[in-house]
């Protein structure tokens, strides 16, 4: 199969469409019945063509114009896709550890790119650790759990809306240091996040809480319910309200106002950071004190970012 020239007018979708138009019979030899194409949003213009060929395609859901948050079902479905796509992104990241392949190459290198990639992949397969070290049984159990959760609704979101718990008139009180929060481990939090992406972000993310004007609030009537307002990671002018419900021994529900915060297949980075701080970080200040704040060395540019703040990257594991 020939390489497709990637001119400035081309993108992922147009390149794939070209390949489907010109090499469809060759491509069909790679597919099996019930196969699913898992793609990112850059391929959204290829979905219709794939479906015309009888190929099912899945990608993270898109929000409609004016929509501020994905529905729970859409956010759940998107998490299933990003979980699978992590394998692709992790493999690409490993290849790009070789600086030569981490940059745009000149056109005179086109005949050799395929050989270089095969050499790099062979070296990676021989000398690097496997990208996945989990057992097949554990992977299967996690997949079943995520598929089961993907059909569920966010009960706490409904509770918040029905009781108007986002209104300023609702009585919230600042939590004390003696707040009784479930004593759970980082492994327990990983079970909530269905991966390690959010968990790795927690120590640096919660720095916003320690250094900023952020309070953890408890409700005066509903025991085991807290509310927090956290800063967006990507847009300095944006903050998100989140709620976490818990019992004596476990986290029972969560809801955040960020783009993906209504999902129940895992949690968003905002929710994960608060859970991590209350369960782990506040009892182990060394885990947070080692984080350096580099903001004093740079000047923030006054740039207005109108893009949607996707709190969780499409490469989350």
For range 107-129, the mean pLDDT: 93
pLDDT of residue 293: 54
**Residue 315, pLDDT score:** 60
Instruction: Using pLDDT thresholds of 50, 70 and 90, give the confidence band for residue 87.
Output: confident
The pLDDT assigned to 283 comes to: 79
Percent share of the chain, pLDDT over 90:
43
Q: Of the candidates 218, 222, 75, which has an alpha carbon nearest to the alpha carbon of residue 149?
A: 75
Q: What is the pLDDT of residue 32?
A: 79
Instruction: Indicate if the pLDDT at residue 142 is higher than 80.
Output: yes
Given a cut of 50, whether residue 81 has pLDDT beyond it is: yes
- pLDDT tens digits for range 189-235: 999 999 888 888 888 778 766 666 678 899 888 999 999 988 777 77
Question: For the segment 14-64, what is each residue's pLDDT rounded down to a tens digit?
Answer: 888 888 888 877 777 787 778 888 888 888 888 888 888 888 889 999 888
Tell me the pTM.
0.80
Compute the average pLDDT of residues 252-266: 95
How high is the pLDDT of residue 124?
93
**In the chain, where the domains are located:** 1-59, 70-132, 153-291
Range 82-87, long-range pairs (CB < 8 A, 24+ positions): 82/312, 82/313, 82/314, 82/315, 82/316, 83/146, 83/194, 83/195, 83/316, 83/317, 84/38, 85/38, 85/39, 85/40, 85/314, 85/315, 86/195, 86/197, 86/315, 86/316, 86/317, 87/131, 87/132
Predicted pLDDT at 304: 44
* pLDDT, the chain, mean: 84
CA dihedral 100, 103, 104, 108 (to 10 degrees): -10
Higher per-residue pLDDT: 151 or 170: 151
Region for 121 from its dihedrals, namely left if φ exceeds 0, alpha if ψ lies in -120 to 50, beta otherwise: alpha
In this prediction, residue 131 carries a pLDDT of 81
């Amino acid at each position: 199969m020939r390489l497709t020239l990637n001119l400035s007018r081309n993108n992922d979708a147009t390149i794939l469409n070209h390949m489907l138009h010109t090499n469809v019979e060759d491509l069909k030899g790679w597919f099996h019945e019930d196969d699913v194409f898992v793609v990112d949003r850059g391929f959204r213009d290829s979905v219709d063509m794939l479906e015309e060929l009888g190929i099912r395609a899945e990608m993270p859901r898109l929000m409609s114009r004016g929509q501020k948050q994905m529905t729970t079902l859409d956010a759940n479905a998107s998490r299933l896709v990003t979980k699978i796509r992590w394998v692709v992104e992790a493999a690409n990241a490993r290849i790009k550890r070789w600086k030569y392949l981490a940059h745009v190459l000149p056109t005179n290198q086109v005949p050799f790119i395929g050989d270089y990639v095969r050499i790099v992949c062979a070296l990676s397969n021989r000398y690097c650790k496997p990208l996945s070290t989990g057992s097949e049984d554990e992977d299967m159990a996690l997949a079943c759990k995520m598929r089961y959760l993907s059909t569920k609704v966010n009960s706490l979101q409904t509770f918040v809306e029905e009781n108007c718990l986002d209104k300023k008139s609702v009585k919230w009180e600042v939590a004390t240091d003696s707040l009784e929060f479930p004593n759970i481990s980082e492994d327990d939090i990983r079970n909530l996040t269905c991966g390690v992406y959010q968990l790795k972000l927690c120590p640096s993310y919660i720095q916003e809480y320690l250094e900023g004007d952020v309070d953890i609030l408890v409700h005066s009537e509903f025991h085991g319910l807290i509310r927090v307002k956290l800063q967006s990671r990507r847009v300095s002018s944006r903050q998100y309200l989140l709620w976490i419900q818990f019992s004596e021994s476990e986290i029972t529900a969560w809801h955040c106002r960020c783009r993906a915060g209504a999902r129940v297949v895992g949690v968003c980075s905002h929710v994960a950071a608060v859970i991590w701080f209350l369960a782990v970080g506040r009892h182990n200040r060394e885990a947070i004190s080692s984080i350096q704040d580099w903001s004093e060395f740079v000047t923030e540019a006054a740039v207005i970012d109108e893009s949607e703040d996707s709190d969780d990257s499409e490469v989350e594991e």
